[in-house]
Structure 1
Amino acid sequence: MLSILIPTYNYNVFPLVKEVREQCIAEKLSFEIIVLDDASQNFYTENNEINSLDNCSYSVLNQNIGRSSIRNLLSTKASFDNLLFLDADVRIISNQFIKNYVNFIKSNSNYGVVYGGIIYQESKPNNDQLLRWIYGNKREALSAEKRNENVYVSFLTLNFLIKKEIFRSVRFNEDIPNLRYEDLLFSFDLMKNKISLQHINNQVVHNGIETSEVFMQKTNDSLKGLKFLLSKNYLTTDYAKISAVFNLLNQTKLLFLIKFIYKMQKNSFEKNLLSSKPSLFIYDIYRLGYFSQL
């Protein structure tokens, strides 16, 4: 029935496995939970407890292979036809979480891919985590109805269901460096191959709120990654919003203005984004400016 596949790296995933397993047992499912550790240095003792649970396994890779490769490897170890991918740093908030996916499978036998969604904690985090929290709440924590307005681009890989045969036909691209655009590239490949992607309200909480400084570094890395994907024609410029806007500005001869503003205000932008009152508008201008310099 269901293979639950969880890649992890330096994270205690035992509580997540325990919760998911209990829900599977309550539904009387044929299931397995497979956790692959991408050569972590921490939490081995805690995570090794997973091997004491029936229908669950935890193993550690000898070397780090990256986010795309480890998901592909997990799929090869799956015994069942329905694959549920969960990130290690998510938290289940509904006792109907597994039931919701099972009911969907039963009523949609010809489904391709289903994304359940994400939410972030309601309480305000520390000031040095506000940028990631605000971005997550405004840009990622969307209802299924909102996500359906932009079906493929709204997809994230931290909580999705996919048929094994479909996954085998697309898989994550292992030819690219360990960039931060796997979600977008995977959804682009789904769209390109005309694979159905549906959205439901079956959200998980994302626990891992980075500091604003770390998030900014990841932002810069992801923009470099996007530039690489575009240069190799893995993505079209109109698929990612930032490259689409960049293209439009370039065509209308307004890109020089963004470059000028970025050059003059870069330090001010960074100061705002690392402050207790970060602006997503400034964040977007910063990203455009940074992208234009690459």
Structure 2
Amino acid sequence: MLSILIPTYNYNVQPLVLELQKQAEALSFVYEIIVCDDASNTSQNITIDSNQSIHFIKNETNLGRTQTRQKLALKAKFENLLFLDADVLPKTTTFVKEYFTILSQSYEVICGGCTYEKNEPSKKCILRWKYGKNREEKSALQRNIKPYSAVFSGNLLIKKSVFLKYNFNENTNFYGMDIYFAYQLFFHAVSVKHYDVDVIHLGLESNEVFFKKSLESVVSRNTFLIDKPKIEEINSLIKHYKTLKKFKLDFVFSVKFKLFKSLLEKNILGNNPNLFLFDLYRLGYLCSLQASK
């Protein structure tokens, strides 16, 4: 028995639902698919009346992805939860079958992988694609080296009891809370295993939108995680910050960041963004947030 849970916001989730339904029906096992629309500005055309296993709910106000996932988990009938982002598609026609096979194994958290299309997108989305191809598109073998650092909530199989225990459950709409969830799993020694059960990430944000979300994620790390014990073991950004702080270079770095901020932004939002400069920008931004405390 499996609950497939999909939070969505301003994205057409119908192709994903239909593909999951097709794969699940071929296996003849008990499942449900629940889509929760997070107060989108656009209408969602989800076919639900032809199959009692498909359900659609809608938030009256925008709660954000973290709280929407919480709502979906509470709504789910089964103990096995498979979270998927709305802007993905299974990489193979055996995607659900592979997870169904994993259900028979002993696990607490199973992470699938994320891949990106081979061809470059338009330049207006090149930052998100380049980051995904270079930082997120990794085999299970690579991800299992540091399993907590690679937790991806957009393709995640987890026990309902485990998710509800460790999900961030405050009524705030913060972006980038996957790392908070990963830290909770790490700190409480919840077993995490990665498998090559991949989705293709199709919904690429524009350079400006992804850049903005990345900075919001830095704010989340600064607010909730930077002082957590051993957080540097699973988050490289905070690890680098703590190294600078150890050698009393964090304030200097924040000053340099302000001087070169505009120049860095020009590259990051340009047609050929450099990911090393993107990393420097986020590190400088974190240093500046700490310096302003």
User: What TM-score results when the alignment is normalised by the length of structure 1?
Assistant: 0.92
2-side partners of 1:213 and 1:8: how far apart?
A: 20
* Stretch of structure 1 that moved more, 151-160 or 234-243: 234-243
AA aligned to 1:149 is I
2-side partners of 1:263 and 1:61: how far apart?
A: 39
The alignment covers a number of residue pairs equal to 289
- Give CA-to-partner distance per residue, 1:237-278, whole Å, 9 cap, x none: 554211111111111133344334322221111111111111
* Contact persistence 2:177–2:217 (CA under 8 A): no
Q: Taking structure 1 as reference, are residues 289 and 267 closer, same or farther at Cα in structure 2, changes over 3 Å only?
A: same
User: Residue in 2 aligned with 1:178?
Assistant: 173
2:222 pairs with 1:254: no
2-side partners of 1:53 and 1:77: how far apart?
A: 18
* Contact persistence 1:85–1:159 (CA under 8 A): yes
* Contact persistence 2:180–2:225 (CA under 8 A): no
2:134 pairs with 1:128: no
* Contact persistence 2:114–2:200 (CA under 8 A): yes
- Give CA-to-partner distance per residue, 1:140-178, whole Å, 9 cap, x none: 1111011011110111100111122322332x2122632
User: Residue in 2 aligned with 1:105?
Assistant: 103
User: Residue in 2 aligned with 1:11?
Assistant: 11
* SS at 1:290 equivalent: helix
User: Residue in 1 aligned with 2:135?
Assistant: 139
- Give CA-to-partner distance per residue, 1:101-149, whole Å, 9 cap, x none: 111112x1x2101001101111101112111111111111111011011
* Contact persistence 2:146–2:234 (CA under 8 A): no
2:220 pairs with 1:225: yes
2-side partners of 1:206 and 1:243: how far apart?
A: 26
User: Residue in 1 aligned with 2:33?
Assistant: 33
2-side partners of 1:285 and 1:168: how far apart?
A: 35
Counterpart selection for 1:153 from 144, 149, 152: 149
* SS at 2:225 equivalent: helix
- Give CA-to-partner distance per residue, 1:3-25, whole Å, 9 cap, x none: 11111112111111110011001
Counterpart selection for 2:59 from 58, 61, 64: 61
User: Residue in 2 aligned with 1:198?
Assistant: 193
* Stretch of structure 1 that moved more, 11-20 or 174-183: 174-183
- Structure 2's unaligned 5+ residue stretches are none
Superposed CA RMSD in Å reads: 1.8
Identity %: 38
Shift of 1:83: 0.9
AA aligned to 1:207 is L
AA aligned to 1:125 is P
AA aligned to 1:89 is D
User: Residue in 2 aligned with 1:90?
Assistant: 88
- Structure 1's unaligned 5+ residue stretches are none
User: Residue in 1 aligned with 2:112?
Assistant: 116
User: Residue in 2 aligned with 1:74?
Assistant: 72
* SS at 1:125 equivalent: coil
User: What TM-score results when the alignment is normalised by the length of structure 2?
Assistant: 0.93
Shift of 1:235: 8.1
* SS at 1:91 equivalent: strand
User: Residue in 2 aligned with 1:283?
Assistant: 278
Q: Taking structure 1 as reference, are residues 51 and 234 closer, same or farther at Cα in structure 2, changes over 3 Å only?
A: farther
Q: Taking structure 1 as reference, are residues 176 and 191 closer, same or farther at Cα in structure 2, changes over 3 Å only?
A: farther
User: Residue in 1 aligned with 2:158?
Assistant: 162
Shift of 1:62: 2.0
Q: Taking structure 1 as reference, are residues 235 and 17 closer, same or farther at Cα in structure 2, changes over 3 Å only?
A: farther
Shift of 1:57: 0.9
2:213 pairs with 1:188: no
2-side partners of 1:169 and 1:185: how far apart?
A: 13
Shift of 1:76: 1.7
Q: Taking structure 1 as reference, are residues 234 and 183 closer, same or farther at Cα in structure 2, changes over 3 Å only?
A: farther
